[in-house]
Amino acid sequence: MARHTHSRFTAEMVIEMLHQEQDKEDGAILDSDSESDLSDDDVDYVPQGQAEVAGDEEDSLDELEDSSDESSEEETQTQANRLSKKGSYWNEQPPTQGRARTHNILRRCPGPVSGSTIISPKDAWELFFSDNIIEEFLRCTNLEGRRAAATKGKEWRCLDKVEFTAFIGLTLLAGGDKSWDVALRELFLDPLQNPMYKATMGFHRYEDIRRLIRFDDKRTRAVRLETDHMAAFRYVWDCFLANCKKVFVPSDCVTIDEQLVPFRGRCKFLQYMPSKPAKYGIKIFWMCDARAHYAFNGMIYTGRQPGEDVQRNLGENIVQQLSSGIRHTGRNITMDNFFTSIPLAEKLLEKNLTLVGTLRQNKPDIPPVMKPNKLREKYSSKFGFCGNMTMVSYVPKKGKAVVLLSTMHDDTAVDDQSVKRKPEVIQYYNHTKSGVDTMDQMVRTYTCKRRTRRWPMVLWHNVLDVATLNAFTRHCTTPWLHGWCD
């Protein structure tokens, strides 16, 4: 009995000891779990042996953050320099080359219109002074002649086509001899002068025609002046321009610029241009062929017409009006900074016409990187691309910059063979910008103008000069026309 009790007591002791050991192990496990939770939440805890490595990684991360900040600042500054005030961004890299553009692809052979046979210079001349112009001259001049003769109790001898053609021939002969400033009496009566004058017409008859010549019906002029300042010459001017457009096809590039016809008399639309030699005169905007210097279209600047509002974007309106006859033909228009603008380039692209021209420095479309800067190297160029437009800034002198806009070019081509390293855009502009200036120089060399106080006579003499140059170009087929037609 005692042995049995002792054995049961011993078994209970063993079981109790086993329970105590299990409780100790469970407590140790709980303690280890709590320590691991604290070490994960403690931010200052660094495993032993890894503290030095962690410090190096923090330093390298700081350096990377600093360098990335500097690069981002430089990139932001570069983007700001290429952003214009109007919000357009001009990318430094040209657009990717895809399919060839359809602009500047001519559908018709430039030069004289086929179908008309020109044998003599007189045939070429009659293309521009057609019968409707001569008939208007004869009708209006005879009306004025009969009126003036009636006031003096005399009879006017009607002017016919043959006599009027002889009058024009003598006027052109004086221009060809460079005798425009010689007195008419001396030309007709001096035996040392060309005998063709007095053999063709008497001095007094020539003087009467020149004094009484008119280009419109004076009886209805007052009504037409209410809507048109140029009513006294409008019909002849429109007929002459229609003939210029009809007999000649321009080449791949035309030029738009102004011509100042010298005049100091009384005129509502007289202009003052201090940069011109004459300073005072009548301004005419011309569109001429850049290669043959043929006057294709023109517009006399008459200011604001009666009843019209103040004109805005004058240069843009002039270009669109002059280029109305060549829309959707793929030609290029070269112009100076009076006309060139970003909105005009976009509108011309819609009509399949390209533009090359200089930009004024005060245009809000020019980004700061294109502006003059003394830090820029001489003969250096900067390009900007925005859609189908290309802008280039060239430094011809230290501290100066010339900015050009082109919708014809789409690359960064530069002439590296020359010392000045001019971009291709500037070379093309210099080659095609003088269409109107060359035409003006040629007509001034052999001008037939005479001193007068009437502005319609000034325009009449200028029309004679331009028509003579156009007739010469139409008659003499130049070599470049053969090259184009081949």
* Within-domain flag for 294: no
What is the rounded distance in angstroms from the CA atom of residue 189 to the CA atom of residue 203?
8
Query: What local confidence, expressed as pLDDT, does residue 477 receive?
Result: 60
- Nearest-angstrom CA–CA distance, 286 and 259: 7
Domain count, the chain: 1
Per-residue DSSP letter, 370 = G
| Residue 262 belongs to some domain of the structure | no
Is 174 inside a domain boundary? yes
pLDDT at 33: 39
Answer yes or no: is 39 within a domain: no
Cα–Cα distance for residue pair 372/398, rounded to 1 Å = 9
Q: Does any domain span residue 291?
A: no
Q: Quick check: 103 and 406 in contact, CB under 8 A?
A: no
Q: Does residue 126 lie within any of the structural domains?
A: yes
CA nearest neighbour of 341 among 88, 74, 12: 88
Instruction: List all residues 6 or more positions away from 157 whose beta carbon is below 8 Å from its beta carbon.
Output: 145
Q: Is 358 within a domain?
A: no
The boundaries of the domain holding residue 244 are 114-249+451-485
Residue 338 belongs to some domain of the structure: no
Arithmetic mean of pLDDT over the chain: 83
> pLDDT tens digits, residue range 375-425?
999 999 999 999 899 999 999 999 999 999 999 999 999 998 999 999 999
Q: Dump pLDDT digits (tens) for 419-460.
A: 999 999 999 999 999 999 999 999 999 999 999 999 999 999
Side chain identity at 90, as an amino acid letter? W
pLDDT < 50 regions, the chain: 1-11, 13-15, 18-19, 21-55, 57-58, 60-61, 64, 98-100, 478-486
| Residues across the chain | 486
